[in-house]
């Protein structure tokens, strides 16, 4: 297959093409400076560590964090979400009243959130509330507020649905979490680099994100920003934080346990993980090669800004919605308002399985789009599309008007 002939509309899975410069940065780093950072103290190792530190700083700035030592590299969003969720809940025990730690999540979550929470629920470690969304694909923050109990420890929510593209009201959920002394973990898989994110303004305690989607870096990259309400590991064992809950103050420990332990390249004499972020959470050799590529993705984003790309993707989404929303051959899922979406649209064509539409697009039109459940079975159950799912089209910054025309023409031909 000639890659250059493929029209790629699967950017919600991973972006393609990557930003100009990413492949070159990877090749150069591999050829010239691919030492293991921090491990040896020689100049190449120090240079690799410096490169990591620079990317930490740039990511921290991008998300409006205040301490780049709290920017922890991960393999992908899933890895970061495991660090966050297992980190927060791993130490939890039933309260004095025998109540399990309570977690609130939503029907819009990806399996990287829902599978680990479901496993903890089945194992009797947590109580879980999964709030629903409305017909347009938005979670009502009021539903999250109403679900909070004195045992609620954590709210985990996606910033935008990876099926519908709908951008959730993270600011309102963050405010509610803060008012009730609950930690807020935001899954920014579909929004990091796609819409502006301020950890501070959104009151996010744990931000999990990929480097390989809208940050335009390679696969194998991602991160977790750990907010200041999670104390430094050294203080954490004894740490408590004073938080408000329904008019009375309660005291809650908010230690984040290292989910992956191992070598960190620093002081090897200690028997336990080093007690400083980011190393506390970063056991094992990091993906320096991928992070060098991610730096080139950040170059693109810093140069071009997020607003222009968002406008481009939303304009494409609007064109698709305008074309199919009132056409009886198509069923659109989620809001018609493209300004409330990132670059993703899911729909079905009457008389077709979504997998058939996906394979006709691929084999007859050289168009890549994603059919199925998109790792989000609860969302598809909510919209009545489980188990076949839907077809998701997700434009990215480099899709052209001609490619969009080709997609719409192909869909029209398939729908007959
Ligand atoms: C909303 C959401 N969360 C989590 C993930 C998992 O991301 P990753 O593939 O980076 O682990 C995805 C992937 O598509 C996603 O869309």
Q: Is 157 in the same domain as 175?
A: yes
- Which residues constitute the domain of residue 331? 3-17+305-415
78 CA from centroid of ligand 1 (Å): 6
Q: Is 223 in the same domain as 114?
A: yes
Alpha helices per DSSP H over 8-108: 22-32, 43-62, 77-89
Q: Is 326 in the same domain as 278?
A: no
Residue ending a domain, among 298, 313, 334, is 298
Q: Distance of alpha carbon 133 from its chain centroid, rounded?
A: 19
Choose among 177, 153, 142: nearest CA to 102.
Answer: 153
Q: Report pLDDT for 241.
A: 42
Q: Residue 341 and residue 190: Cα distance in Å, rounded? A: 10
Q: Report pLDDT for 256.
A: 85
Q: Which atom from ligand 1 is nearest to the alpha carbon of 159?
A: 1
Q: Is 278 in the same domain as 294?
A: yes
CATH code, domain with 380: 3.90.1150.10
Considering its fold, how many domains does the chain have in total? 2
Q: pLDDT tens-digit profile of 305-341?
A: 999 999 999 999 999 999 999 999 999 999 999 999 9
- The CB of 399 under 6 Å from ligand 1? The reply is no
Q: Residue 140 and residue 144: Cα distance in Å, rounded? A: 7
Q: Which atom from ligand 1 is nearest to the alpha carbon of 161?
A: 1
Q: Report pLDDT for 95.
A: 65
β-pair type (367-368, 248-252): unpaired
Written as six digits, the tokens of 282 are: 């970063």
Q: Which pairs with CB-CB distance under 8 Å and at least 24 residues apart come from 3-9?
A: 5/366, 6/366, 6/367, 6/368, 7/365, 7/366, 7/367, 7/368, 7/399, 7/403, 7/406, 7/407, 8/368, 8/396, 8/399, 9/367, 9/368, 9/369, 9/393, 9/394, 9/395, 9/399, 9/403, 9/407
Q: Which pairs with CB-CB distance under 8 Å and at least 24 residues apart come from 39-44?
A: 39/263, 39/265, 39/285
DSSP states of 269-281:
T-SS--SSTTGGG
Q: Is 120 in the same domain as 159?
A: yes
Q: Residue 102 and residue 95: Cα distance in Å, rounded? A: 10
Residue ending a domain, among 298, 330, 352, is 298
pTM above 0.75, yes or no: yes
Q: Is 200 in the same domain as 310?
A: no
Contact 33, 49 (CB under 8 A): no
354 CA from centroid of ligand 1 (Å): 21
Residue ending a domain, among 298, 329, 362, is 298
Q: Report pLDDT for 253.
A: 46
CATH code, domain with 148: 3.40.640.10
Q: Is 133 in the same domain as 282?
A: yes
Q: Is 257 in the same domain as 372?
A: no
Q: Is 260 in the same domain as 317?
A: no
Q: Is 58 in the same domain as 131?
A: yes
Written as six digits, the tokens of 250 are: 């309660």
User: To test the ligand 1 pocket, which listed residue (189, 193, 212, 221) has its Cβ within 8 A of the most ligand atoms?
Assistant: 189
- The CB of 161 under 6 Å from ligand 1? The reply is no
Q: Report pLDDT for 89.
A: 92
Q: pLDDT tens-digit profile of 394-409?
A: 999 999 999 999 999 9
Mean pLDDT (the chain) is 92
Q: Is 45 in the same domain as 160?
A: yes
Q: Is 11 in the same domain as 83?
A: no
Q: Residue 42 and residue 414: Cα distance in Å, rounded? A: 60
- The CB of 342 under 6 Å from ligand 1? The reply is no
Residues of the chain with pLDDT under 70: 1-4, 39-40, 93-97, 234-255
- The CB of 158 under 6 Å from ligand 1? The reply is yes
């Amino acid at each position: 297959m000639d890659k250059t002939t493929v029209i790629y509309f699967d950017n919600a899975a991973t972006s393609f093409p990557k930003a100009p410069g990413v492949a070159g940065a990877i090749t150069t780093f591999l050829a010239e400076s691919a030492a293991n950072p921090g491990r040896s103290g020689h100049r190449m190792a120090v240079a690799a560590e410096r490169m990591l530190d620079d990317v930490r700083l740039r990511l921290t700035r991008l998300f409006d964090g205040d301490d780049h030592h709290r920017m922890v590299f991960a393999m992908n969003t899933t890895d970061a979400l495991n660090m966050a969720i297992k980190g927060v809940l791993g130490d939890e025990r039933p309260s004095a009243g025998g109540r399990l730690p309570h977690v609130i999540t939503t029907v819009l979550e990806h399996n990287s959130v829902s599978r680990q929470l479901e496993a903890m629920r089945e194992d009797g470690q947590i109580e879980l509330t999964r709030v629903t969304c409305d017909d347009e694909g938005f979670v009502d923050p009021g539903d999250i507020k109403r679900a909070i109990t004195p045992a609620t420890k954590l709210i985990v929510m996606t910033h935008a649905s990876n099926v519908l593209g709908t951008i959730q009201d993270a600011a309102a959920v963050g405010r509610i979490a803060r008012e009730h002394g609950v930690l807020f973990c935001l899954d920014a898989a579909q929004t990091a680099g796609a819409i502006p994110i301020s950890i501070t303004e959104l009151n996010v305690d744990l931000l999990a994100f990929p480097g390989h989607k809208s940050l335009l870096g390679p696969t194998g990259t991602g991160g977790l920003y750990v907010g200041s309400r999670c104390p430094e590991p050294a203080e954490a064992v004894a740490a408590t934080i004073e938080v408000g809950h329904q008019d009375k103050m309660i005291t809650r420990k908010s230690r984040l346990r290292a989910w992956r332990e191992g070598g960190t390249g620093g002081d090897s004499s200690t028997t336990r993980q080093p007690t400083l972020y980011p190393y506390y959470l970063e056991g094992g050799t990091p993906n320096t090669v991928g992070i060098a590529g991610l730096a080139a993705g950040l170059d693109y984003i810093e140069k071009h800004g997020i607003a222009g790309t968002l406008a481009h993707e939303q304009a494409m989404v609007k064109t698709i919605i305008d074309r199919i929303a009132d056409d009886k051959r198509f069923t659109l899922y989620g809001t018609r308002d493209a300004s409330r979406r990132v670059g993703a649209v899911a729909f079905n064509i009457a008389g077709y399985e979504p997998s058939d539409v996906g394979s006709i697009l691929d084999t007859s039109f050289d168009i890549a789009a994603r059919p199925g459940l998109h790792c989000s079975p609860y969302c598809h159950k909510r919209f009545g599309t489980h188990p076949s799912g839907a077809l998701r089209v997700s434009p990215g910054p480099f899709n052209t008007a001609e490619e969009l025309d080709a997609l719409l023409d192909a869909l029209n031909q398939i729908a007959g």
